Structures are given as C-alpha cells and as structure tokens.
Amino acid sequence: MRYRTDYNPSLLAGAPQILELGGWHLHYLAFAQHPDDPRSPVLLLGGAFQSFRSFAGEVGELLAEHPVILLDLPSQGGNLQLAPELSLAQLADLIAAFAEHWQLPPLMPIGLSYGSALAALFAARHPQHCARLLLSGITALARQGARRLLEEGLQLLAEGRSAAFAQAALTGLLNPLQQHDTGVSPVFRKALLRQMQRLTPAEIERYQQNTRRLLSFNGFERYPSCPTLLLAGEHDHFTQPWEHARFAAACSNADCVIIHHADHLAQFERREACAQLYSPFLRGEALPIASPGTSRLARSQLLQLDKRHEPRAPALQRRASLWHAEAGEWPVELLELGFFGGLLQGQLPATDGRGWQLRLADQSQHPLLSLRHDSHGLAFVFVHSDAHASAALAALLRPAMLPTAACA
C-alpha cells in the first residue's frame, strides 16, 4: 500500500479511495509519514453515527508513531453501499480481504461501539492479520435490556417515528443523569439529536441493516488471542463496564480499563485519559499500573464486577399503574425505580408486547418494555422516547438516588 503523507484534518471530509472486492466497495483513507511505511498500521473502525471526520484528533496523534488507515465497509460510515445479506462475520472477513489485497503487515484495529464488534470478530477469525486490538463500547449485546431497546428502535423507525427513535437512542448513548460528571455539553447533545432526527431514508435503511446484524449475532465462537485492551466508560449504560470486563476475561491476553467521568463515548469525552493508554499499548509496552482518570482492573476482578450498574431507589410513591391501549389499566406496586428501568408487582396480563406505559403518581407516563415476569415481579426498561417524560423522571429520581444499585 502507498500511504498519503500530506495528512490534514480537512482530508477526512473529502472523497475516500475505493477498493472493490467481489462486488463490495470498501472506502478508505491511508496516511503515514512515509509512502511505503512497513510498520503495522492502526485501523480505525467507527460506530453507527460516525464518519472519518470523527477521528480527526486521533489520526493526528497516532501518525507520529504509526501508519493510520480509516476504513468504511459497506453500509458503514460514509459508505452508502447497502449490504443486507452480509453478516457481522462476513464484514469482518472483508477486513481480512482488504489486508490481504494490500499485503499489509498485521493490523492494530481500534474499534468503537458498532466498530468494536467488527474489530473483535476480525481479530478472532483472522489472528494472522491482527497484531493488537483496542476496543471501546463493545457491542456484544448479551444483555436483554439492550437488545429489547434496539428492537424497539427498529420498530419506531419502521413506523416513521424518527423523533421518538432519536430521543431514545440519544438517551442510551449519553447518560443524562451523569452529564454533570461526563461534561457532555447541551450543545453537543442537541447536535447529535438533530443528526439522528434528520436521517435520510438511505441512512435509516443502513442503520436498520446494521442493527439487525447485531441482533442476529449469536456470540463469539472464539475470542481474540492477540494483546487486547478494552476501555469502558464508568457511566456507560448501553455497553456496561461489566460487559467489557467479561469480554476481557474471555480473551487469552486482555486488559480492561475503566475510564472515569465517561459514558458510551469515552474516547471523545475523556480524550486525554484514553490517549495516554493508546500509545503504550500500541507500542507494545506494559500499561501503567495507574494513570489519571482511569482504573485498570486486575485479572481477578474481571468476573467480579457487579452487573447492577444503575443506582435505584425504593419508589417514594409505590402506587402506580400500567396502561395499554388494548389491555387497559392495571394497578401495580413499584418495588424499585431507576432512570433506565425498575421492578414492580401486580396481577397483570401478558406484557411481552409493545405499547405499555407506566403511569406514576405525578401523572407522568413512561413507555416501557417488559424483560421478565417471575415471582420477584416484573422487571422492565424504559424506552425514553419522550423527552418530557424522561425529564420528569430524572427530576423525580435525583433527590432520592441511593448508592445501592440494580440493573435490567
């Protein structure tokens, strides 16, 4: 591969180079300090709403020591080619085909959010092509609550309810109860919300295809064997810290680091804290035992993290009701209530379907999805598709938050 040596952030917004493999178009940009740099390149794979421009800061920093390749597979980032028939594994195989075509030395992928699943599968399926692996926001999707919310997002888009979809997706990515700690500005939140509200029909189709790929993924048959680093935002509710730790435990040579004061977009919210780990890891050096703004988990801790991620308090007003347009209204008793979900009891009909709302004593109404109904009660997650209802719930919970936690 011949690398470009004229890197400037403005180039990330320009037309990419395109490699065609078996009818599939792979968009990429490749930079280095020398056009024929023989070193292992860093490969950047972004999330669902990211483009090459999202990595302007990272590319400039990484180029001091590594070649850098940005890659958009079909239906990813700025690549508009639809690929409904391709699975996650097949997309990961395209990364290997890209490496083989250019006869690249083993790659060092950095996979973020959706890109983390692709990077991890590439490393597991093609170990000869992967030297080191860095993941953040790992979308293994073992948690039922996350899967139900992704399924609900698909339904909202199919119904043309883009505003409700955008609000629900934003709340999952940027934890609003922790925005004082993460420092995410209202301006950034509004900009991301507008971006998701204004998805074009083609962008919606790509998002739906990518989400269906995630939901149809049955899990890893084998895990990466190369040196692997997972970065988890301590407040990330969509891909929770314990899920990162479990993934690290399944790998033969992995570390997991908690990034303080961050949620799902840890690498952007706490760039310095993440960058101080990137460099030594990619150079093959031992990670620092302690570094500002992070906590490195010992191997013995990886399977010990509490799955109870969200603080919940006993409901101040235990009386509430569940309402459905067809099933009617049913009185319930709230046992636990948190911003993302809770636990209630009551004599209820089947609640597996959509359309249920929790009506609280303050008259606010909150769309929810049932997770399980057993002798302990009905566990549920909130959809958060209504901004006003979410704000009312946050205001209700803030004075009563306790250190005890529960998670759906």
- Of 123, 262, 255, the C-alpha closest to 182 is 262
Neighbours of 123 (CB within 10 A): 29
Q: How far apart are the first and last CA of the chain?
A: 47
Helix (H) or strand (E) holding 87: none
Read off the pLDDT band of 407 (50, 70, 90): very low
What would the pLDDT profile of 295-305 be if each residue is shown by its tens digit?
A: 999 999 999 99
Q: What's phi and psi for 187, nearest 5 deg?
A: -65, -45
Collapsing DSSP states into helix, strand and coil, what is residue 183?
A: coil
Mean pLDDT of 199-222: 92
What would the pLDDT profile of 107-129 be if each residue is shown by its tens digit?
A: 999 999 999 999 999 999 999 99
pLDDT of 313 reads: 67
Q: Are 343 and 376 in contact (CB under 8 A)?
A: yes
Read off the pLDDT band of 49 (50, 70, 90): confident
Please tell me the distance from the alpha carbon of residue 404 to that of residue 6, in angstroms, as a whole number.
53
What would the pLDDT profile of 323-354 be if each residue is shown by its tens digit?
A: 999 999 999 999 999 999 999 999 999 888 89
Q: What percent of the chain has pLDDT over 90?
A: 78
pLDDT of 141 reads: 66
Q: DSSP characters for 338-398?
A: -SSEEEEE-------SS--EEE-TTS-EEEEEEEEEETTEEEEEE----HHHHHHHHHHHG
Read off the pLDDT band of 143 (50, 70, 90): confident
Please state, rounded to an integer, the average pLDDT across all residues of the chain. Answer: 91
pLDDT of 401 reads: 45
Q: Which domains does the chain have, with CATH numbers?
A: 9-143+214-301 (3.40.50.1820), 310-406 (2.40.10.220)
pLDDT of 91 reads: 97
Q: What's phi and psi for 248, nearest 5 deg?
A: -60, -40
Please tell me the distance from the alpha carbon of residue 76 to that of residue 92, in angstroms, as a whole number.
12
Read off the pLDDT band of 316 (50, 70, 90): confident
pLDDT of 74 reads: 95
Read off the pLDDT band of 404 (50, 70, 90): very low
Please tell me the distance from the alpha carbon of residue 327 to that of residue 354, in angstroms, as a whole number.
11
pLDDT of 402 reads: 37
